[in-house]
Amino acid sequence: MLDDLTTAASSPTVWPAAYPQGYAVVDVETTGLARDDRIISAAVYRLDARGEVEDHWYTVVNPERDPGPVWIHGLTSDVLEGAPLFQDIAAEFAARLEGRVLVAHNAVFDWQMIAREYARARSEAPVKQRLCTIALSKELKLPLPNHKLESLAAHFGVVQRRAHHALDDARVLAEAFRPSLRAAAAGGVRLPLHECLPLTEWTDRPRSGQQAGPGGYRP
């Protein structure tokens, strides 16, 4: 369990009935930001309806390509060479996401990267809704200097140990999300939930005059 080092009020006695029953706080590190970039590490903290941690999971992933900005994420080709491929961890990852709202900082990016990896694996991520903690901090009108994860963490007194490491970023976000969720519940704030639509940009057949890339990807 995570220690609650924040100054947020305790969990409200009356909890909004419309709030989700569980969350998957996610962070992924990638080879870059483009549509054809790959996930190289992923972490999930599963939380209950009130934001308490149930368990956590972490893996590195062999992207089958150059790892990209090693100076940011620290994962070299040598480290990733013996790591599992995404299709090898897809089932376990899915089990961690199943039936929960995906929570991430800039959630649309994490969701799109995850959805594309599942599309490459000829599967579908079991995610129906996502919640962005940037959007939630705006709903709560938190006095942040910017919308970086480090600023949200500092606001709630959460200590970052290793920025851009998926497991630590997910831990930090889980710690910051819990008091945010409690504040939202206490204030009757509607959570900024967004539907995760099925991915439509992948196909086995290229457009006319265009070659499909690996896995049927079309740029």
Give mean pLDDT in consecutive 10-residue pieces for the chain, a chain of 219 residues.
46 87 98 94 98 98 95 93 97 98 98 95 94 98 97 97 96 98 97 89 46 36
DSSP 214: G
Residue 110: enclosing H or E segment and its boundaries? helix 107-120
With respect to CATH, is domain 22-201 assigned 3.30.420.10?
A: yes
The pLDDT of residue 7:
41
Predicted pLDDT of residue 206: 43
Q: What pLDDT is stored for residue 202 in this prediction?
A: 57
Q: Is the pTM of this model over 0.85?
A: yes
Burial of 130 (0-12, 13-18, 19+ CB in 10 A): buried
Q: What is the pLDDT of residue 215?
A: 36
C-beta of residue 18 within 8 angstroms of C-beta of residue 189: no
For residues 53 and 28, give the distance between their C-alpha atoms in angstroms, rounded to a whole number: 19
Burial track 64-85 (b if 16+ CB lie within 10 A, e otherwise): eeebbeeeebebeeeebeebee
Question: What tokens does 108 get?
Answer: 């649309």
Looking at residue 10, what is its pLDDT? 64
Task: Enumerate the domain spans of the chain.
Answer: 22-201
119-123, long-range: CB within 8 Å, 24+ apart, which pairs? 119/199, 119/201, 119/202, 119/215, 120/86, 120/87, 120/202, 120/214, 120/215, 120/216, 120/217, 121/86, 121/87, 121/90, 123/90, 123/94
> Strand 22-30 and strand 101-104: pairing?
parallel
Question: In 3D, which of 12, 89, 24, 11 has the Cα closest to residue 54?
Answer: 24
